[in-house]
Chain A
């Protein structure tokens, strides 16, 4: 199985996606409310990652990468903000964001390929988690662009399993949270 390069974050050209970092109440059904809103309104999700944020587990943070072509940003933010369980929404664009994604992949490597494969991993800072004589499972936590590049090079080997978590992101520390109203002027798609 050769992984398709995932058409996710590309820093060149027009804006293809928005990254939203959404603080929600950690209550039953909240994820389904958020996902339901996106499907109902026709907002296309590229990836979504969620986990509790604080020790009290009162809130969770959802990082959503949404297709910029599917709706104007202001619509997405303002509709999301209407969900009662959504507490705060930050729109993080590429200049003002720290992003990470996690990859796990198992590749089949012939004996004579092993050294090259390990060197490739090392050059990306990927870590070997598990290995046999003919297979290695590696992990890489990096910017999605780097993960894309790594995946492309992995394709030289037999990729048995590949799993990506989707992006998680936080605003850089200088960016204040976007209130829904101020999301409007930056929106290039509104008609």
Chain B
């Protein structure tokens, strides 16, 4: 089955963290232990939103040593496709849900002499698991976490309490900027950098690290992004002999699934490469939104990542 075996869980806890963020804890329905994961891993949460099936990836934030449950934090996105609103409005303790096995596309490089974490907003979640993992194994780290203001700084206090001056908080509204260039210039050789946050922050960190001469393979980004909305478009699946319309709040992958086509996936966020599909014919423009395809593949429109990418134009035929 696409996406691999599933985990049958029950919602154990729903906790409002602040105005935008809610935390969910899932436990195994059979009362047993859940599969082990490592800091940086995510799970894909299946939702049945009034007949629309949604599968959204969320970073696991709980202690990787705690196999009695998984925790995620979801930021409400009022302009999103509806997954986060569903989680906030409909998910209640006691509800049965289905999760994917954990997948880690943002792991710690344990060869590093030191780990430097840079988080923006809800991008803090993978670092909650990573810092717990490192605290347990004695790894050296520093966390720099930027949010709009103290009220939106989810888990800032508990991180401070657990890790003291290894944690640095910055509040944009107080004119407090993360001293990125300075930080990058004083890390011992063998430090690895990890960044998770909004797109603007990822780009900022990417270019600052390049300017500072950082080793490319020592810089890691949590790239997966929820599929964005867009204009509806038609697509023909050559092998299945079907033509479908992808709705504006639906991804191409979701449209194929809704039509009963078994398409491969893993991260559903354009990062893992699992859903890569050959394009048979393309008269128009593919809006490539993944972090997987090479610039050449994108430019020639010979491949598409159905979990995030969209299409604009007359004809799109894919090999599925």
Partners in one complex: no
Question: What is the interface of chain B, defined by CB distance below 8 A to chain A?
Answer: none
Question: What is the interface of chain A, defined by CB distance below 8 A to chain B?
Answer: none
